[in-house]
């Protein structure tokens, strides 16, 4: 292949393998001129190039990858100040924040764990930055505060990332995240006294906490401590599985399993209900396909041995009974089935199919109370059924409506299980399921201060570019006029086999009350319809996802829900990539774009923290065909001058070690340099926050208030009159 000239110096877009007809590269002088429209803080351009398959790729903002740079700190501070100045005159801005605060001020509960006859759950009383853990001795017992993470930092930025009670209900192992980082510090608390023991584990990440049944210790996974590089940037490789015995120091922890020859393998451990087996799921990055290993815990010196030894399908351990491992898998079933495996005879010819594949996608299952609870998605809404352990269908478990159910945990001998149910307009209720009778009853039902009956959700199906039918939920005020004038927020994700299902958000209710329409599209790449749906949005087929999203916008416009100047798109993480790519490819469809914590530099995502793991979905720059596909849509590398892009507010956080914040820094700087129009191209950088999990309630409200104020100004939204006192 002949060497091409520099192909993406902010202005050029590579089309196939040919040099495109496009304006010349953006120079520093061009960038300075563009900056004057909004007086954007200066971002220098450095002489940095990378070579990929005889193509020179310009990366002028590489210096922004240094999180410790004083120059970067000044740029971030300047960008945040510019945004606040831009939003200062938005009418109703304080009213938006006040209403968000009112809507967030409701009790929110987590799904309970039942251990040793005790009930453990989280409860946020409304505006607490973090949800404390409570326990009670009986179903109708008095709640007792066990752990309040709000006391661990003055600003609420130390969060509870995970927690697991021991089987006897006497101890709680809990993992803390500092400022939103994926790094975890694990501690142990005595339940009766409420005091911490001396145990502390550091450098845990992407880990489960799996207690031995006698409560003497637990299994966890961690990496070696980062050396020579910022811990929020360092690449994570060579995860190891350890056992920690209560009352000992971390340096005494026993290494259970590692693979020095497999730097990309990760380990998630679980102990079977009968205490017989340690079951280890072995993954490679975010690839759904995995291995299953077991260790016989009845034999202290037993080796970890293979049950499933090929990365050919997904194998999700859902419970054990009568010496069999029950596994949810797409091996031989695109939309998943359940099989029983005897770990002493693991050959596939000896597997027994228990619950066959069905038309609806089996997204999760649990062995609980002597039966299997199977949670399926039918057109992106939950449908839950119970089976006995031989596969006989017992019942459909009643749901309160069309929405999303999650939970159904518990032991194989449990007499009760709990789950959460929510929809776009129904906050997450916690419900109790009794396996023997099938009875469903309420455990906790939150009350949110809004008129639920004022809004309705409908599901539509629209054609994508290639004719594929795509589902979409649309929520709006009842009787909304389809006159093409409604401010509309379109959300999507489309990746990693993750389904987007109905979910409640106080933020969405605030938007609906502002007169907005909220649309959520179920794009290819997600997990709504099984393996083929996921794979249709992977690697060289990723363009399908952007086409699906653009087609959603076209549908909303054609059906008179809205018009381009009143339509905004939103997405987070992989959804931030979705927004970035689609706004650049189809700018005429949108009035505003909100790419949040997005993967925006598709040529360098593998260079930071856990980014290499996403190659299973995105592909790799090391392969010429996949490189070509990545470059064709990479948001950072497809910004063109003299294009009227939608008003854009990029959001990220300074401690995001999932999607490294330099993705957003570089993208915002490139947009500001290239765009010559009068629409704002801005960035908001949260401090002491990460990718999103554990973000304090106050910060969530502030961020969303800024986003909505940005949409009010850029979409020309007239705020409804304030309610009478």
Catalytic residues: 573, 691
The structure tokens listed for 495 are 């990746």
Q: What residue ranges in 464-619 does DSSP mark as E strands?
A: 469-477, 488-491, 517-521, 567-572, 592-596
SS (H, E, C) 132-171: CEEEECCCCCCCEEEECHHHHCCCCCEEEEEEEECCCCCE
Q: Give CB contacts under 8 A, 24+ apart, made by 553-557.
A: 553/490, 553/586, 553/589, 553/590, 554/462, 554/589, 555/460, 555/462, 555/472, 556/474, 556/488, 556/490, 556/517, 556/519, 557/484, 557/589
Query: What's the burial of 185, exposed, middle or buried (CB within 10 Å: 0-12/13-18/19+)?
Result: middle
Cite the DSSP H helix spans in 500-623. Answer: 506-513, 531-535, 543-558, 574-585, 615-618
Give the distance from CA 346 to its chain's centroid. Answer: 33
Enumerate the β-bridge partners of residue 243.
219, 254
Enumerate the β-bridge partners of residue 475.
457, 518
Helices 28-35 and 662-674 pack at an angle, to 10 degrees, of 80
**Which helix (DSSP H) or strand (DSSP E) does residue 322 occupy?**
none
**Which helix (DSSP H) or strand (DSSP E) does residue 643 occupy?**
none
3-state secondary structure of 599: coil
The structure tokens listed for 6 are 């520099």
Whether 375 contacts 365, CB under 8 Å? yes
3-state secondary structure of 78: helix
3-state secondary structure of 373: strand
- Nearest CA to 202 out of 223, 181, 219 is that of 223
3-state secondary structure of 39: coil
Enumerate the β-bridge partners of residue 393.
387
Q: What residue ranges in 369-468 does DSSP mark as E strands?
A: 371-378, 381-388, 393-396, 404-407, 417-422, 429-433, 440-444, 455-463
**Which helix (DSSP H) or strand (DSSP E) does residue 6 occupy?**
none
């Amino acid at each position: 292949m002949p060497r091409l000239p520099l192909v993406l110096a902010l202005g050029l877009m590579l089309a196939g393998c040919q040099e495109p007809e496009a304006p010349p590269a953006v120079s520093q002088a061009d960038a300075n001129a563009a900056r004057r429209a909004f007086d954007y803080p200066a971002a220098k351009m450095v002489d940095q190039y990378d070579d990929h398959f005889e193509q020179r790729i310009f990366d002028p903002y590489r210096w922004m990858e240094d999180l410790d740079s004083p120059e970067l700190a000044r740029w971030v501070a300047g960008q945040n100040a510019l945004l606040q100045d831009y939003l200062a005159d938005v009418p109703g801005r304080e009213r938006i924040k006040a209403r968000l605060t009112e809507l967030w001020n409701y009790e929110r509960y987590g799904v309970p764990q039942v251990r040793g006859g005790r009930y453990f759950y989280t409860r946020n009383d409304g505006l607490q930055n973090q949800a404390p853990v409570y326990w009670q001795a009986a179903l109708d017992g008095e709640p007792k505060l066990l752990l309040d993470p709000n006391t661990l930092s003055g600003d609420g930025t130390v969060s509870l990332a995970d927690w697991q009670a021991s089987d006897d209900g006497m101890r709680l192992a809990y993992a803390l995240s500092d400022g939103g980082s994926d790094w975890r510090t694990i501690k142990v608390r005595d339940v009766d006294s409420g005091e911490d023991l001396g145990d502390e584990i550091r450098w845990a990440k992407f880990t489960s906490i799996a207690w031995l049944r006698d409560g003497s210790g637990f299994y966890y996974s961690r990496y070696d401590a980062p050396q020579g590089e910022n811990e929020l940037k360092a690449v994570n490789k060579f995860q190891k599985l350890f056992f920690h015995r209560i009352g000992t120091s971390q340096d005494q922890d026993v290494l259970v399993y590692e693979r020095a020859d497999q730097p990309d393998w990760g380990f998630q451990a679980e102990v079977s209900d009968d205490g017989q087996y340690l079951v280890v799921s072995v993954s490679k990055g975010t690839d759904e396909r995995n291995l299953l290993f077991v260790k016989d815990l009845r034999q202290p010196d037993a080796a970890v041995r293979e049950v499933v030894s090929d990365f050919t399908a997904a194998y999700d351990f859902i419970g054990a009974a009568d010496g069999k491992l029950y596994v949810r898998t797409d091996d031989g079933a695109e939309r998943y089935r359940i099989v029983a495996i005897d770990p002493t005879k693991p050959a596939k010819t000896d597997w027994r199919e228990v619950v066959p594949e069905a038309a609806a996608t089996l997204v999760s299952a649990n062995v609980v109370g002597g039966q299997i609870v199977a949670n399926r998605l039918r057109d992106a809404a939950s449908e839950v059924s119970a089976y006995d352990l031989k596969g006989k269908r017992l019942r459909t478990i009643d749901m309160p409506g069309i929405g999303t159910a999650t939970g159904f945990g518990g032991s194989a001998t449990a007499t009760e299980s709990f789950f959460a149910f929510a929809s776009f307009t129904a906050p997450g209720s916690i419900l109790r399921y009794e396996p023997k009778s099938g009875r469903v009853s309420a455990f906790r039902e939150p009350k949110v201060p809004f008129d639920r009956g004022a809004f309705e959700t409908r599901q539509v199906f629209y054609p994508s570019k290639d004719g594929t039918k795509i589902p979409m939920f649309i929520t709006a005020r009842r009787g909304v006029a389809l006159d093409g004038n409604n401010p509309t927020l379109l959300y999507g994700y489309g990746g990693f086999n993750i389904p987007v299902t109905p979910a409640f958000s106080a933020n969405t209710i605030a938007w609906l009350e502002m007169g907005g329409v909220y649309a959520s599209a179920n794009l290819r790449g997600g997990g709504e319809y099984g393996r083929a749906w996921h794979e249709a949005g992977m690697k060289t087929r990723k363009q399908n996802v952007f086409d699906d999203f653009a087609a959603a916008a076209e549908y909303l416009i054609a059906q008179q829900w809205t018009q381009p100047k009143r339509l905004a798109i939103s997405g987070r993480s992989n959804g931030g990539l979705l927004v970035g790519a689609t706004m650049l490819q189809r700018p005429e469809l949108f009035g505003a774009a909100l790419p949040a914590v997005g993967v925006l530099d598709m040529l360098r995502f593998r260079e930071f923290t856990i980014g290499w793991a996403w190659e299973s979905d995105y592909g790799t720059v090391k392969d010429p065909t996949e490189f070509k596909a990545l470059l064709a849509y990479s948001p950072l590398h497809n910004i063109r001058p003299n294009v009227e892009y939608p008003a854009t507010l990029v959001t990220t956080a300074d401690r995001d070690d999932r999607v490294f914040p330099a993705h957003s820094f570089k993208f915002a700087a490139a947009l500001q340099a290239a765009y010559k129009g009068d629409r704002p191209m801005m960035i908001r950088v949260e401090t002491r926050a990460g990718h999103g999990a554990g973000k304090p309630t106050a910060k969530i409200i502030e961020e969303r208030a800024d986003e909505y104020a940005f949409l009010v100004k850029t979409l020309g939204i007239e705020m409804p009159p304030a309610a009478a006192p």
